[in-house]
Structure 1
Amino acid sequence: MIKHFLARQHLDQLFSVLSNAGYQVVGPTVKDNAIVFTELSHVEQLPWGRQEIAKPGHYQLTDTSTNRCFAWNTGPQGLKPWLFKPEQPLWQAEQTEQGLCFRQASIEAHPIAVIGLRGCDLAALKLQDQHFLQGPYPDPYYQAQREQLFIIAVNCAQSAETCFCVSTGDGPEATHSFDLVLDELEEGYLMGCGSEQGQAIFQQLTLGPQVSKDQLHTAQKQLADASQQQRQMPDEDSLLKLTENLEHPQWQDVADRCLACGNCTLVCPTCFCSKQESTSDIKLQQAEQVRLWDSCFSEQHGYIAGKLFRPEIRHRYRQWLLHKLANWQQQYGRSGCVGCGRCISWCPVGIDLVAEAQILVKGTPHEPTDR
């Protein structure tokens, strides 16, 4: 891929070009002491000079000595809420003189350009596409917004302690599903194109010549540094062994620590469990069916025909881990984990998905450690 140089002072031009093309610009900013994606109107809203310290059960922002806006890796959410919405009306019903009248909820979508997504987020997007678009019944709400999505990816220059995307094959370099991709250097950005839509935006920017060998070397060194990660998820063949260890004592060990709060599933960029609820007005003349995010850690998620099929936390954690790491391979041809590490840092008690998987695939009891 041929890349050109975009000076730091011209980053605001990218925002202007996207806005003039009709896109709502969505990107990272600091809110409630975390990096979150929201609508942005100018580059000053980006998290300049901020980086996260992520550990099991710990997430904290800190100032850096550099003037970069992509010096962080992840926050509590990525792209998922913008396509698979936490609350999605599906249909309405209204009592009329002719009887009940049903109609599909309106499909609302508009052009969105998302800047700052990493390789793990793009891998998660590809999995969400498989689930919502490539099955026998594509989701019309997801599909409508997906078709109007423009993605500016950013290659990681470092990894957080909780990152393990190298072992899942999903980072730190963005290699697919983007329109433009950036490498952030001290003096600016190396920009490359990944689509015709990206090329159209690319041609409207004030870009320097093709990047120099020194700049390319710096970007490659950053990727190499980001590839040095502390955690390594077992390979996919090993993860299939999880289904052979359903009564391993480690399931109870983790259940003794797990709060069944569902934080891991909420921050996971690939989880797609949902439930449906009905609401009506006080006169019972109008009703609405709404799809809401759900979690397999909820008791009600396993409630069928008057019976709780996963009554204990160990059953629910086992369901999540088996489905995510083993059964997804049968459904989608790969594990459902993209190595972002969000579930590790946002778990209130610091349960480490990678450590648990390593213990369980070995099929041997685990010696308890201080927690």
Structure 2
Amino acid sequence: MASEPGFLPRDGLDRLIEALRRDGREVIGPRVRDGAIVYAPIAAAADLPAGVRDAQSPGAYALHAVSPDERLFAWANGPQALKPLVFVPHELLWSSRNDGADGPQFTAAEPAARPTAVIGVRACDLAALALQDRHFLREPYPDPAYRARRDALFLVAVHCTHQADTCFCASTGDGPEAESGFDLALHEIDDGFIVAAGSDAGAAVLAGLDLAAADQARMDEARAGVEAAAAAQSRSLPSRDLRPTLLERLESPQWDAVAERCLSCGNCTAVCPTCFCNAEVNEATIDGRENGHYRQWDSCFTSGHSYLHGIVIRSETRARYRQWLTHKLAHWHDQYGRSGCVGCGRCISWCPVGIDLTAEVAALAGEGTA
């Protein structure tokens, strides 16, 4: 995989997109849709959000245009991550059909995935994908549908140079520069992109682009942009291991304080790139002959998630918020070897009442008031 970073002029990005498509991949990238930046199929660099900036704060997200000639990736994450591409919101697991005499016949869903290249992946979302991998690909029973989609992904990271007010990835160690988990990585600078390979597949694509080596001045510009993004982050978590802080404060009045504001809507878990709670449901045809058994996204903020034999175990918002925060920031260390938070800040921006996870943790730790 040994290859030196190359320089791709700004007007040459279509060459990269075409190289990715040449192997039969669908190319997905960031696009502006319904007032947000989301992943969607792209045909050319012209489909990317040129000159678009985001403004994010607790409970608020907005886009504004600067200039059509401005950078393509000068914004922080929108509501999506890679999660919907590998752990889909609603998927068939198995189906049954009953034609009468022979009784019901059961058929398992066959995993299938189209090769897909994703441009614009950020460091925090690569870290989140690694956590999803630890959950869904655990031996001895890896999830076959997840594996099929995961193996079909070709990831083009973009190192962050513009952070949102809600970002805190520097404190979790998950950004703003992508260090692993990508096939190619781009540093966007004024006149183009520095392109580096992170896998053999990425090195093959990079070699086909036949780029000139990136000079030292451009490398220095790229490094300065990432360092500025890290230094500009104003939010943080006090520690990367919050198990003692949270588990010693399970009866803190702070849980009551946050419950007075929390709507138990589940927005935070929907936009979180690492949450994986799900439910299984049956969907039958009107004549009852056919039935599909589906897995769909769920949230620990719903009453059904803690329903057990006629009892909702966590019937109050206080218990649901505590379950979410302590599981993600404390118990994930025992399950996956690290916290489940990658510092993307989505749960802060997309909370309808602007609850700030970092402020809640600070209050619990006695470092401030949420």
Match of 1:319 in 2: 323
Match of 1:117 in 2: 121
Counterpart secondary structure, 1:89: strand
Distance 2:335 2:259 in 1: 27
Match of 1:224 in 2: 227
Match of 2:142 in 1: 138
CA deviation map 1:208-255 (0-9, x unaligned): x21111101100100110111101112133443201111101101000
Q: Which amino acid aligns with 1:275?
A: A
| 1:337 aligns to 2:341 (yes or no) | yes
Counterpart secondary structure, 1:115: strand
Gaps of 5+ in 1: none
Identify which of 53, 56, 62 aligns with 2:55: 53
TM (norm. structure 2) is 0.96
Match of 2:24 in 1: 22
CA deviation map 1:164-213 (0-9, x unaligned): 00000000000001000000011000000011100111122142x21111
Identify which of 67, 71, 89 aligns with 1:68: 71
Deviation at 1:62, TM superposition (A): 1.6
Q: Which amino acid aligns with 1:42?
A: A
Deviation at 1:135, TM superposition (A): 3.8
Deviation at 1:41, TM superposition (A): 1.5
User: How many residues were matched structurally?
Assistant: 365
Deviation at 1:82, TM superposition (A): 0.5
TM (norm. structure 1) is 0.96
Identity %: 49
Distance 2:130 2:159 in 1: 17
Match of 1:94 in 2: 97
Distance 2:239 2:335 in 1: 17
Q: Which amino acid aligns with 1:41?
A: A
Counterpart secondary structure, 1:204: helix
Counterpart secondary structure, 1:227: helix
| 1:157 aligns to 2:158 (yes or no) | no
Match of 2:34 in 1: 32
Match of 1:274 in 2: 278
CA deviation map 1:119-176 (0-9, x unaligned): 0000000000000002431111000011111000000012111100000000000000
Q: Which amino acid aligns with 2:163?
A: S
Distance 1:140 1:168 in 2: 30
Counterpart secondary structure, 2:180: coil
CA deviation map 1:55-95 (0-9, x unaligned): 00010112235611100110001100010000010000111
Deviation at 1:346, TM superposition (A): 0.4
CA contact (8 A) 2:96 2:290 kept: yes
Q: Which amino acid aligns with 1:73?
A: A
Match of 1:84 in 2: 87
Distance 2:328 2:253 in 1: 20
Deviation at 1:106, TM superposition (A): 2.3
Distance 2:323 2:289 in 1: 40
Deviation at 1:361, TM superposition (A): 2.6
CA contact (8 A) 2:241 2:338 kept: no
Gaps of 5+ in 2: none
